[in-house]
Amino acid sequence: MKKLLMTAAAAALALAATAMNASAADKLKVGFIYLGPVGDLGWTYMHEVARQALVKELGDKIETTYLENVNEGPDSERSIVQLARTGHQLIFTTSFGYMDPTVKVAKQFPKINFEHATGYKRATNLGTYSGRFYEGRYIQGVIAAKMSKTGTIGYIGSFPIPEVISGINATMLGAQSVNPNIKVKIIWVNTWFDPGKEADAAKALADQGADVLMQHTDSPAAMQVAQQRGIYAFGQDSDMIKFGPKSQLTAIVNNWGPYYIKQTKAALAGTWKSEDTWDGLKEKMVVMAPYTNMPDDVKKLAEKTEADIVAGTLVPFKCPVLGQDGKPVECKGGTHLDAGQILGMNFYVKGVDDKMPGK
């Protein structure tokens, strides 16, 4: 009798185990590779927010995993492979530096679908996606030129890659549309995330007379400095109003959630395809945080600029775009610079007072 009970118990356990396995296998496993810590409150944080939105929307059909702080050197390939080997069917790699490793792993695992953020190499099972963040920068340039009393904007650059350069240029063009004599001072910190360095750069810029700060780095450090100094700043990646309730004018918010949900739904339905997605304000992949701490006329101008960009009546890189030497650059898109010129931007527009590092 005892033996029989034991056997029954074992059978029940085994049954329960297979049932559990089955339900786990039914769920689509979605993996994410993050560059920074999930708590950076910037780039990685916004991917994490989007992952949580994805879980909220499709939680009963999917299971998600993330690996954080994955360096862009020798470790990333292994991290991606680890996700691929543990049954993840859709893998998002969320930084430019993961491009070659993602391409390599995608080749090894042809049945798994990959999505690489901000890159340009694609395959049948590897798509790319990014946001037109420069659209938001243009609006910020307009606001900054309106709000600055000293006529000097402080800009904290991370690395002089096209994404960052096009942000600086869009800011400058937006600012010049209001004040042709506006100045932009740039400090390169050579890091995406280092709150100490970012704060030092912000202080140095404020000391040099900048009264509106902008950053292309991921922490809220510059916002905190602006709040202490009583000057203005813009949030980066996420709404940073709680770090600068009296300082934040607006913020460029990276809104990946809808995209992750859309692509995951496609993977669930078996209709996922490799695509090159580059969405902006219109598609709401780039969203502006509320316009705060500014007079009504500036707010109206900002809202109009945003509406015009969404409607397509205002194009930030409209030809002629003048290079630093004052000569117009080649206009490959007809009336405006084409995607390749923006995605590979390697020149400053007229009025930027800086020499590009490494040039």
Provide, rounded to whole angstroms, the least separation between the CB of residue 343 and other proteins.
6
What would the 3-class secondary structure string for 55-68 be? HHHHCCCEEEEEEC
Q: Which of 86, 124, 150, 208 binds other proteins (CB under 8 A)?
A: 86
What is the Cα–Cα distance from 93 to 221, expressed in whole angstroms?
26
Q: Of 94-102, 256-264, 285-293, 327-335, which part binds other proteins (CB under 8 A)?
A: 94-102
Apex 309 CA angle, 303 and 312, nearest 5: 140
- Our CB check for other proteins shows the closer of 150 and 190 to be 190
Of positions 46, 49, 79, 156, contacts other proteins by CB under 8 A:
79
Q: Cβ of residue 83: shortest distance to other proteins, in angstroms?
A: 7
Instruction: Work out whether 255 is an interface residue with other proteins (CB under 8 A).
Output: no
Q: Give the burial class of 235: count Cβ atoms within 10 A of its Cβ; 0-12 exposed, 13-18 middle, 19 or more buried.
A: buried
- Compute how many residues bind other proteins; rule: CB under 8 A: 35
Q: Which stretch binds other proteins (CB under 8 A): 50-58, 83-91, 257-265, 309-317?
A: 83-91
Phi, psi of 115 (to 5 degrees): -135, 125
Interface with other proteins, residue 195, by CB under 8 A: no
CB of 288 to other proteins, least distance (A): 27
Q: Which residue in 65, 274, 292, 293 binds other proteins (CB under 8 A)?
A: 65
Interface residues for other proteins in 256-315 (CB under 8 A)?
Answer: none
Distance CA 261, CA 273 (A): 14
Q: What sign does the CA torsion over 317, 322, 328, 330 have?
A: negative
What distance lies between CA 334 and its chain's CA centroid? 28
Q: Where do contacts with other proteins occur on this chain (CB under 8 A)?
A: 37, 65-69, 71-75, 77-79, 81-83, 85-86, 96-97, 100, 120, 159-162, 190, 343-346, 357-359
